Amino acid sequence: MQLESFQYDNKTVRNFAVATIIWGVVGMLVGLIIALQLVFPTVLNFQPYLNFGRIRPLHTNAVIFAFVGNGIFMGVYYSLQRLLKTRMFNDVLSKIHFWGWQLIIVAAAITLPLGITSGKEYAELEWPIDIAITIIWVVFGFNMFATIIKRRERHLYVAVWFYIATFVTVAVLHLVNSFSLPISLFKSYSWYAGVQDALVQWWYGHNAVAFFLTTPYLGLMYYFLPKAANRPVFSYKLSIIHFWALIFLYIWAGPHHLLYTALPNWAQSIGIVFSFMLIFPSWGGMINGLLTLRGAWDKVREDVILKFMVVAVTAYGMATFEGPMLSLKSINAIAHFTDWIIAHVHVGGLGWNGMLTFGILYWLIPRIYKTELYSKKLANVHFWLATLGILFYAIPMYWAGWQQASMWKQFTESGQLKYQFLETVTYMKPFYAMRALGGVLYLSGAIVAMVNIFKTIGKGTLVANEDAEAPALEKTYTKHTGEHWHRWIERKPTPLLVLSLVVVLVGGLVEIIPTFLVKSNIPTIASVTPYTPLELQGRDIYVREGCYTCHSQMIRPFRSETERYGEYSKAGEFVYDHPFQWGSKRTGPDLAREGAGNLKKSNTWHYNHLEEPSAISTGSVMPSYAFLIEHNLDTATTPLKINAMRTLGVPYEADFAPRANAALMKQANEIAASLKKDGIDVPANKEIVALIAYLQRLGTDINKK
């Protein structure tokens, strides 16, 4: 068979590798800053652009899409070419992909601190950036798929199926969750509302974990671990089974983020069952990874790259055992909204994604630069810093999570709640400090890696185009006797893509369609009415400031919650919430009945508390929002917002938009007057008045006649 000469593109791999390291350090640094903001809230919350609510999403977006994202592309561009024995389809597309992705990251870094956010976790970027993401993702997919079609190796190794499934599913997730109605270049409203928005959001959010943080990295593991260990994967058969099981089951798991909430029970139950089943395909991946090293564990002792990979796969196993456990209602009742969830996320993120990224970097940079790693010793130092970092992060957070849950739920002998919410916050501070130390260790390790990698780059020369040879693909394929069906699909990438798409769509359709169509899933509450114009503006401020990153709006049907916050949250209360703001974490108390429940406070209290939380609540970690007292409310947007809401189905009167500002000023004046009575002189047109109006509205609908 005639040998063809061609060249692998290493330049794009190098570009993605450098981006991975740099954004990794940036993203982890932001993570460290927000961790320290919880320990030193009055000192480190730089107003208004760099306070916790604004930059927490910067951290999550940076580590997921900038660090892991570039890591995925680095690994895919390296491995895909070599597994298929062909160069990437088109160098221009590779360039567009690389630079486009970096521009998206820069856009995120600029817009998020400015408060330009959709208010939906891990999907905060507003609609122009969403469109850019779609375009660049299609460029990536086209480049990848065209490469697969022009391959010289007929059989698609398992890593390639994971890349295909990743591409397809992320495309679907991003498109569906991003449906929104723009009202300006920088603002849009989620197409969905309330319970339905929550379901779509967590169908997306969990599958961002599944198909951005897991499947591409499993693909990378299936290539780089055998390469680093120089032995084939333990069981190819297992990889076939766990691939299909993983991509099918993962999609259904979304509702485990919504247990004991107002999501219909049937959807919660499906989420639990499928999340639990997910242990098996996930551990299939872990077993395959670890057992690849059976009989070769002495290699791990000598080779720091293998050490990183072993910790990564082990952390993957831990996180994918913990996840299903957290999806059981009894455990979820304890863990939801606490720091236990943060611990879980970081075992996966720091352990699985982080360690595998570094292992791959240390393996591939020397190879494409035709040199040795600058310092094996430094790499070992990094390994220990990273491992200790993970421990110092996770252990305090586990402890903190248990403490929070326990303190929130405790009653005294006489049947009163034992602890004020604020007491649980002050109790957390030492744990937040320890967690920050964990972050310092992990970030230090990342910086050591950055130095090591850049020094390696300095002493080598990039082989931008690596020579290779392989026989051209035969035009016709002679089937071996007894070839089974899966071998057929491994030869045919298009059916593989289509079948993966079908498999992945099933879970989403089954969960999402009934939630939208079956009326009884969201029982109508007659007394629930749309937000007033002032409250709507206030809500947009709440979303802009990222209040949902610390405050939940979902009272669960537990006695400890109804005693503390008021009547538990009903699905019908959220029908006009574009987007929903149920939150995922209670660093601060739940606000679902802030306007009506046991915790209702005066306008004056809210003013003083927003101005300086720690002056009113001693030991509070909330940043100051005094700048809202200075900022004028942009009332020019009110008619636009009312009309947008009408388009989304919120029943404002047809002619309300032009009259809306009059109603807004009337309500604002009333609040300003009540503040004046307590000696607070604030003009009615300031943003703080709108936010107070919104907070005082929360949870009041069910009490109306």
Residue ranges that bind another protein, judged by CB under 8 A: 79, 82-83, 153, 155, 157-159, 222-223, 226-227, 230-233, 236-237, 240-241, 244-245, 248, 480, 482-487, 490, 506, 510, 513-514, 516-519
Cα dihedral 254, 260, 264, 269 in deg (nearest 10): 60
Min CB(321)–another protein separation in Å: 21
Q: How many helices (H) and strands (E) does the chain have?
A: 29, 4
Q: Which is nearer to another protein, 484 or 705 (CB)?
A: 484
Cα distances from 471 to residues 2, 3, 4, 195, 531, in angstroms, run: 5, 4, 6, 56, 67
Instruction: Name the residue nearer to another protein (CB basis): 159 or 417.
Output: 159
Which one, 131 or 518, has the nearer CB to another protein? Answer: 518
The CA distance from 231 to 99, in Å, is: 35
Q: How far is the CB of 516 from another protein (least distance, A)?
A: 7
CB of 594 to another protein, least distance (A): 32
Q: Are 308 and 314 spatial neighbours (Cβ–Cβ below 8 Å)? A: no
Question: Shortest CA distance to 352 belongs to which of 327, 317, 383?
Answer: 317
190 phi and psi angles, rounded to 5 deg: -60, 135
Q: Which residues pair with 466 in a beta bridge?
A: 8
Task: Tell the residue number behind the tokens 């099933």, with chain if given.
Answer: 506
240/541 with CB nearer another protein: 240
| Closer residue to another protein (CB): 417 or 496 | 496
**Whose Cβ is closer to another protein: residue 131's or residue 513's?**
513
H/E element, 433: helix 421-459
- Nearest residue to 387 via CA among 361, 359, 355, 360: 355
Q: What is the largest CA-CA distance in the chain?
A: 92
Rank residues 483 and 563 by Cβ distance to another protein and give the closer one. 483
Q: Shortest gap between Cβ of 239 and another protein (angstroms)?
A: 9
CB nearer another protein, residue 89 or residue 192: 192
Smallest distance from the beta carbon of 463 to another protein, in angstroms?
19
In terms of Cβ atoms closer than 10 Å to its own Cβ (0-12, 13-18, 19+), residue 30 is: buried
Residue nearer to another protein on the CB measure, 246 or 671: 246
CA angle 316, 317, 320 (to 5 degrees): 80
- Shortest Å, Cβ 593 to another protein: 31
Nearer to another protein, 512 or 642 (CB): 512
Integer Cα distance of 326 and 329 in angstroms: 8
Minimum CB–partner distance for residue 556 and another protein (Å): 27
In this structure, how many other beta carbons lie within 10 angstroms of the beta carbon of residue 518? 11
Cβ of residue 199: shortest distance to another protein, in angstroms? 15
Residue 349: CB minimum distance to another protein, A: 26
Coil, strand or helix at 656: coil
For 193, half-sphere exposure in the C-beta direction (CA atoms, 13 angstrom radius) is 17
- Rounded to a whole number of angstroms, the minimum distance from the CB of residue 234 to another protein is 9
Burial of 600 (0-12, 13-18, 19+ CB in 10 A): middle
